[in-house]
Amino acid sequence: MTPRDNTWTADQLLDLARQYQAAAVLAAAADLDLFSALESRPATAASLARARSCDHRGLTTLLDALAALGLLSKHDDSYAVPPGLGRFLVAASPDSVLPMLQHQANCLRAWSRLSEAVASGQPVPKTASIRGVAGDQEAFIGAMHAISQPVADQVVAALAPLRFTHLLDVGGASGTWTMAFLRACPTATATLFDLPHVIPLARSRLTEAGFAERVRTVAGDFYSDPLPPGADLVWISAVIHQNSRQQNRALFSKVRAAIQPRGRVAIRDIVMEPDRLHPLAGALFAINMLVATPGGGTYTFEEIREDLQSSGFSEVTLARRDEAMNSIVLATATS
């Protein structure tokens, strides 16, 4: 993304400024779910415009841009998904990243107003996509699964040896991480805690994967509700970045109140270096939190450790270091 010697040219700066263009084309295609419509058979712009209730000129322009990027193939007036690409872009595929592309489309809309967030210090107003609020919520939950499912078992394995009898997955989404922990510990059980609109999605995925009998789902809001008690391992995955440090201390205190004596908490998130410039993914993700949350950000290990210690935890360690979201901080509830 940047010159290694930090020496910029005018052309490099302009190339960087134009990088939004391809992302916006892909985002629009994801919002309209064009790839799913074209996977089974090629279609013309006219027929697809009727099927997707789009303007013919507008859709033709978008389809041509997608084909120019290599995301579609074009023969005469028909467009199709290139062989092998549909597995990542079609909603029904188990390897689909479409929900994450739809979520990134929402992020793109917010990032376009970054200067407003910088000037005001407040998140920008949320605007629903063409799929509506419910569609955006489902895409977010699907996005968390799409990025976590390929790495979950590997990340959990890095915490071995795992010794726990009951896991509490705070903000557990559709159960991706819960299932990874239960695969690692076949005798354990779990509680998945998340917002009411998420719980049906979690139950569906847990049932489909054969974990429903080992997982209790509890609806609630960790900002306002107490956490379900009794776990000896609490998993907080990709949550603390959406909070201020004060909010994280409040959350950790709720974990401390719910967890068994000497139980452990494991936090998966980006962990920044003290200079806050590295990893680059973390510096950019802090922008995402600036435009989307009132107080969220990305934190250093020292900050996370201080917040855990102030909330009744000790033996805080960085158990896994990662350049993105898969760093793991472990801590033990004080006696």
pTM of the model as a whole: 0.92
Closest-CA residue to 292 (of 222, 255, 242): 242
Query: Which distant-in-sequence residues (6+ apart) come within 8 Å of 100 by Cβ?
Result: 142, 143, 146, 147
pLDDT at 80: 97
Residues, the chain, total? 335
| Placement of tokens 């907080």 in the chain | 236
pLDDT at 181: 98
Whether the CB-CB separation of 303 and 232 falls below 8 Å is answered with no
pLDDT at 162: 84
* Strands of the 43-44 sheet, one edge to the other: 43-44, 78-80, 73-75
Whether the CB-CB separation of 268 and 332 falls below 8 Å is answered with no
pLDDT at 260: 96
Task: Please list the ranges in the chain whose pLDDT falls under 70.
Answer: 1-5
Q: What is the pLDDT of residues 62-88, one digit of tens each?
A: 999 999 999 999 999 999 999 999 999
Helix (H, G, I), strand (E, B) or coil at 316: strand
Structural domains in the chain, sorted by start: 10-90 (1.10.10.10), 150-333 (3.40.50.150)
